[in-house]
Chains A and B, each alone.
Chain A
Amino acid sequence: MSLLQMNDLQRHYQTPAGTVKALDGINLEIQEGERVILLGPSGSGKTTLLNCLSALDSPTNGMYMFQGTEVPRSHSEKMTSFRRENIGYVFQFFNLLQDLTVLENIHLIQELAGKKDPVRAKELLKLVGLEAEINRFPGEISGGQQQRVAIARSIAKRPTLLLGDELTGNLDTETSNKVMEALVHACEQENITAVFVTHDEGLVKYATRVIRIDSGKIISDQKVDSSDEDA
């Protein structure tokens, strides 16, 4: 079942040097439960696409439908509301709040979304393998653990779509793998669709679909079958 659809989506920026076409006619449909990886060189437009997907940024032209409804644009509060209700976001540098414990970081997001559920918060931390760290502060745990907390936080409010921008970019390979495994596990358990931006081809194995972008256009869109994954 289709979760979101983009038709001829464009995002252009005006600069002193002229118009920059960060996204230049993106046509994309993502099904529920897919795990999509966006690959591409620097400046290719993948982060801009992620920003448009999350309604952080408004497209210049084109259509973006989410669960059959047009996503708000150019209205900060409506866009925030859209993110609150539908989107989970994982940052490269985790961005946990240092003054809150691991558990409280998750409570906070639930509270802000009006969905406080302490039992679920603990379950999510168990899901990402951090049940022993719930009362520790982010500064007291490793980077990989912090990113797993960030994943738990991002899905705590039951988003429909989880987005991540270079979410393992700051981690070593072994930790990256652990984080991605936790993520895949969480997405499967929670039935969450995910879209990740990365430079790391090694992460392809965690995706069900790989989209390559260059110069603001999709240059390839491939399904990844389980036999590839196993290989």
Chain B
Amino acid sequence: MSTLLNKRLARSLWRTKLRLVAVVLMVFVGVFAGITFGGYAHNLGGMYETMQADDDGGANLADLWIDNRSATWSPGQVDAFCDSLASEFGSNPAALFSLDSCEGRTVTQGTMFHTNGTGGHLINSFWHGIPGDANADRVWMPEGHSIGRTAAAADEIVIDAHVTEALEIELGDTVNISAGNTSASFTVVGTGYHPLHVMMAPEGTLFPPESGQYVVGYLSDTGMARLTGHAVGTSNTIVLDVEGTPSYDLPDTPEYEGEEIDVLKGIVDASLSATELDARVRDRGQNEPVEVMRQDLEGTKRTTVPFTVMIASIASITIVLSLQRLVQSQAKEIAVLRTLGVKRSSLMTGYLVAPLVIGGIGCALGALAGPWGMNGMLDFYQDLVGMPIIVRTIPSSIYLTVIGSTMCVVFLSGAFPAWKASRLDPLEVLSGQNEMRVGSNLLRKLTSWMPTTLGLSIRSSVRKPIRLTMTFIAVGISLMLFGSIQMMSAGLEETMVGGLENDQSWDAQVYIMPDGEQPVFDWAENNSANYEMLIEMPLGSVADADDIERTFTLVGIDSFESGMRAVSLLDGKAPSGNMAVTQVVMEEGSMRFLEWNVGEQQTVHINGAPHDVEIVGTATAELARTMYFLRGDLSEILGVNATSIYLEFPEGVEVDSALGEVSTGVVKRQTLLDGINSLLDQQTQIFQTMMYLGLLFTIVVMFNTMIMNVAERDFELATLRVLGASTRSLGLMLLFESLLIGLIGGIVGVLFAYGGAVGLAASFSSWQFFVPVTIVPSVAWQLMTGVILIAVAMTPFGIWRLRRMDLVEKVKDLSS
């Protein structure tokens, strides 16, 4: 008998093909998204592990970086430090890790003089001098994704593979580069990657300019000596590597994980004191390029979970609603079967098996398409960061978890309607008692003043409060996917582009060596350009409320209101110079994370030394944590006049090679803006996929509910038609009902979207990134209008059903 019953159920389901397809699609999308996101996060993590590995294939990312950008150390000083360190490691019983390598390097900003079809160009650059026998922070040259070999001779260079295509650089080409000294030519002997340049963003910024606008090159130590004019082995950075990976603090977590690295840092500090070296010491968590990418990866992994859960929730709500409607529409059939003696268990089997079959089809399709989705996302990420993702596998655990949990959700979604089906009372159903219900007196009172047709629309809309609530929850979750991303993107764009675009007026930022400003002034005066000095260094640090050391950028400018880099104040005032306690302005994100207020005095570390500052104002959020000084005050503390010079060009003046020669790098504001916009566009693309997924879900959920509402109202609509109600008047009733559901759905959607945006921003925000959520009214209106339109779009469907309603048949139903 069960076979026949199941066959009957299958045929009934087949009659509601549209809803059936919607449910299968929901399951498909849930599984597809789960496998895509799961596989994506898994392989992305693998990419970093492969690159950073301490083996022949990896680059062996260092554990500590010790640097001083305003001075250089002689080879002797470096050797002395490393010897001292080795002996400290040997004698310190607290050192849990043994020292693997201590290596001096020179890393420097610079310029590439590049000529192509459109003429000569000055490209902001960064050069590493890496000894041939380097152990840590080597160039990563994965097979099949890089070519050539590392630089060994004094005239050889490896160019970062991110830019070789854009600049059309090939093996054997000669490139002309400088680093604030004279320019020199190098032969390209290879292309490769570096763990500190996964994202090709210039130092001090999180944004990579467009491809080819920023070059990184890897020279030998002799090549660096030739470029800078220093002795071989002269260094401004020492990289330390220990056996294994000591735990370090992850800035985006509330816990402090840096106990192991702190022991090493203590040893390093002792050696720095012993050898009288001034330097900044950073672990992986404090080295921005490394930390940014780790957080990006963590963010990606974190994001996949809620997105998958959201999609699964929407799918399960749709399945529950659809199956419940199916049971309801089959009530009479079930009642007849029960009257004929069919057992409850036989009835239940079909209703339990049906969702499993539907789920199975959806899961199979999702599992088939999942790898395709994952590869698409990995390709996208590969294009975004320009790094090859070599190993691409989906572990069976991901399939098992995603399919297993989906089938559980589907089964549970089917269990309730199945239980309801088996519990239907035949007598009640056949006498029509199950359709009999008492209306709500509260609703009657609330709507009694309205025309009856309007009142009926409202009462019909809220007739099934559980279904309606579930629909609104599903719509809310769908719009959380859609709207929260829009809202957060708006805040992100404002933070990333707003200040640079609106408050700053410089055309080019010229980086200089200490005391190297005069040649740039001369160039500016010769070209009638305005200039303004600036100090910008990531040398600030402070202990937060949990006593975790947070680093921030120090910016010194001459004027807060009328300079080329104006600062937009949220509250307080601009600092006054030469005060007993240095006055500063801190940006919004830092103030929130540190829980500081305007008017407070705080002690911060600047270049390692403690300084008292008075917070006199809050500036609008920057992505990076920043403290603004008057340049004179900061100059006194740091002992440098400027680290770069802003230039404002008159009409017709452009950056030229003469400027390149006297600088250690030139960044054009437009290039920076283009880069940020391009990055935003790319980021938006991946978000857009999810946004449109959310929109698609909203449409499916709304359509599903509206179809059910209209189908359920066949009885009363037929009655009204028989009694002479015109299609127009009934159409108006349906329209009003749609508007009402759309309006409530829209409001719920906006609330969910805002909640989601706050949640997303909170999960993305960390000391490194701060994303404020701004409610953009247009986004809220867009969401409301969208949901209302989707709801209203169902009215023609209702009218179409009304028109094709066979009243003779309906009257038979009404009379039987």
Q: Which of A29-37, A85-93, A187-195, A207-215 is the interface stretch?
A: A85-93
State A111–B725 Cα separation when bound (angstroms). 9
Inter-subunit contact B814/A93 (CB<8 Å): yes
Instruction: List residues of A (178-201) whose CB comes within 8 Å of B's CBs.
Output: none
Q: Does A109 contact B (CB under 8 A)?
A: yes
Inter-subunit contact B726/A84 (CB<8 Å): yes
Of chain A, the residue at the smallest CB distance from B802 is A76
Inter-subunit contact A84/B815 (CB<8 Å): no
State A139–B434 Cα separation when bound (angstroms). 11
State A135–B444 Cα separation when bound (angstroms). 9
Q: Does B811 contact A (CB under 8 A)?
A: yes
Scan B291-335; emit 1 where CB is below 8 A from any A CB, else 0: 000000000000000000000000000000000000000000000
Cβ of B724: which chain A residues have Cβ within 8 Å of it?
80-81, 83-85, 87, 109, 112-113, 157
Inter-subunit contact A80/B725 (CB<8 Å): yes
Q: Does B715 contact A (CB under 8 A)?
A: yes
Inter-subunit contact B722/A97 (CB<8 Å): no
Chain B min CB distance to A139 (Å)? 4
Given contacts A77-B727, A101-B439, A140-B438, contact A83 B722 (CB under 8 A): yes
Inter-subunit contact B815/A93 (CB<8 Å): yes
Q: Does B437 contact A (CB under 8 A)?
A: yes
Q: Does B719 contact A (CB under 8 A)?
A: yes
Q: Does A226 contact B (CB under 8 A)?
A: no
Cβ of B439: which chain A residues have Cβ within 8 Å of it?
98-101, 137, 139
Q: Does A51 contact B (CB under 8 A)?
A: yes
Complex partner residue of B727 from A80, A91, A100, A138, CB under 8 angstroms: A80
Inter-subunit contact B727/A56 (CB<8 Å): no
Residue total for A at the interface (Cβ-Cβ under 8 A): 42
Q: Does B453 contact A (CB under 8 A)?
A: yes
Scan B697-737; emit 1 where CB is below 8 A from any A CB, else 0: 00000000000000000011001111111110100000000
Of chain A, the residue at the smallest CB distance from B805 is A76
Q: Does A54 contact B (CB under 8 A)?
A: yes
Scan B450-487; emit 1 where CB is below 8 A from any A CB, else 0: 01110110011001000000000000000000000000
State A84–B448 Cα separation when bound (angstroms). 24
Instruction: List residues of B (781-813) whose CB comes within 8 Å of A's CBs.
Output: 803, 807-808, 811-812
Cβ of A107: which chain B residues have Cβ within 8 Å of it?
452
Cβ of A91: which chain B residues have Cβ within 8 Å of it?
719, 722, 811, 814-815
Complex partner residue of B722 from A47, A89, A140, CB under 8 angstroms: A89
Cβ of A77: which chain B residues have Cβ within 8 Å of it?
726-727
State A88–B561 Cα separation when bound (angstroms). 80
Given contacts A54-B722, A84-B724, contact A112 B815 (CB under 8 A): no
Inter-subunit contact B722/A56 (CB<8 Å): yes
Complex partner residue of A108 from B436, B452, B807, B812, CB under 8 angstroms: B452
State A76–B619 Cα separation when bound (angstroms). 69
Cβ of B610: which chain A residues have Cβ within 8 Å of it?
none
Of chain A, the residue at the smallest CB distance from B815 is A92
Inter-subunit contact A137/B438 (CB<8 Å): yes
State A193–B339 Cα separation when bound (angstroms). 42
Of chain A, the residue at the smallest CB distance from B727 is A77
Of chain A, the residue at the smallest CB distance from B440 is A99
Looking at B448, B726, B803, which has the most chain A CB atoms within 10 Å of its CB? Answer: B726
Chain A min CB distance to B446 (Å)? 12
Q: Does B148 contact A (CB under 8 A)?
A: no
Inter-subunit contact B725/A84 (CB<8 Å): yes
Scan A69-83; emit 1 where CB is below 8 A from any B CB, else 0: 000000011001101
Inter-subunit contact B453/A81 (CB<8 Å): no
Q: Does B432 contact A (CB under 8 A)?
A: yes
State A93–B440 Cα separation when bound (angstroms). 22
Given contacts A87-B724, A93-B815, contact A108 B808 (CB under 8 A): no
Q: Does A166 contact B (CB under 8 A)?
A: yes
Q: Does A104 contact B (CB under 8 A)?
A: yes
Instruction: List residues of A (106-121) whose CB comes within 8 Å of B's CBs.
Output: 107-109, 111-113
Instruction: List residues of B (428-444) whose CB comes within 8 Å of A's CBs.
Output: 432, 435-440, 443-444
Inter-subunit contact A104/B715 (CB<8 Å): no
Q: Does A95 contact B (CB under 8 A)?
A: yes
Q: Does A24 contact B (CB under 8 A)?
A: no
Cβ of A54: which chain B residues have Cβ within 8 Å of it?
722
Complex partner residue of B803 from A76, A101, A139, CB under 8 angstroms: A76
Scan B409-444; emit 1 where CB is below 8 A from any A CB, else 0: 000000000000000000000001001111110011
Given contacts A80-B721, A108-B452, A154-B723, contact A165 B811 (CB under 8 A): yes
Cβ of A109: which chain B residues have Cβ within 8 Å of it?
723-724
Q: Does A57 contact B (CB under 8 A)?
A: yes
State A98–B440 Cα separation when bound (angstroms). 10
Cβ of A81: which chain B residues have Cβ within 8 Å of it?
724, 726
Inter-subunit contact A111/B723 (CB<8 Å): no
Given contact pairs A80-B724, A93-B432, A157-B724, a sample of 9 additional A-B residue pairs in the complex whose CB atoms are under 8 Å apart? A56-B808, A91-B815, A98-B437, A99-B440, A100-B452, A104-B448, A112-B723, A112-B724, A112-B726
Please list the residues of chain B having a beta carbon within 8 angstroms of any beta carbon in chain A. 432, 435-440, 443-444, 448, 451-453, 455-456, 459-460, 463, 715-716, 719-727, 729, 803, 807-808, 811-812, 814-816
Please list the residues of chain A having a beta carbon within 8 angstroms of any beta carbon in chain B. 47, 51, 54, 56-57, 76-77, 80-81, 83-85, 87-89, 91-93, 95, 97-101, 104, 107-109, 111-113, 135, 137-140, 153-154, 157, 165-166, 169
A-B pairs with beta carbons under 8 Å apart, 25 shown: A54-B722, A56-B722, A56-B808, A56-B811, A80-B726, A80-B727, A81-B726, A85-B724, A89-B723, A91-B722, A92-B815, A93-B814, A95-B715, A95-B716, A95-B814, A99-B439, A99-B460, A100-B459, A111-B452, A112-B729, A135-B444, A139-B437, A153-B723, A166-B815, A169-B815
Q: Which 6 residue pairs spanning A and B have beta carbons closest together?
A: A84-B724, A99-B459, A139-B438, A83-B724, A112-B725, A107-B452
